[in-house]
Amino acid sequence: MSALIEEKTGLHYGLSEFDLLREKVMPIAEERGCDSLLDYYYLLRYDDEAGREMDALVDGLVVPRPTFSGNSTR
């Protein structure tokens, strides 16, 4: 998965960052109906001719998702 991401986007994720990559990619993969990262890899590699899915993945990787905590100030 990381090699495909680097090939298509130039974003590099090394072995030490696999957990971070999985944490970011798996929710996106599940939204697309994929049960595993391998399923999502095949979708990206072979079923994304227009590149829209890769664009969505890049957005998910580089745009921080909001996190909410119970310690909000009002």
pTM for the whole structure: 0.75
Distance CA 19, CA 9 (A): 19
Instruction: List the chain pLDDT tens, one digit each, 74 residues.
Output: 899 999 988 989 998 999 999 999 999 999 999 999 999 999 999 999 888 999 999 998 887 766 666 655 55
Please give the structure tokens belonging to residue 39. Answer: 């399923």
Q: State the sign of the Cα–Cα–Cα–Cα dihedral 16, 53, 49, 40.
A: positive
CA angle at 17 for the pair 12 and 18, rounded to the nearest 5°: 100
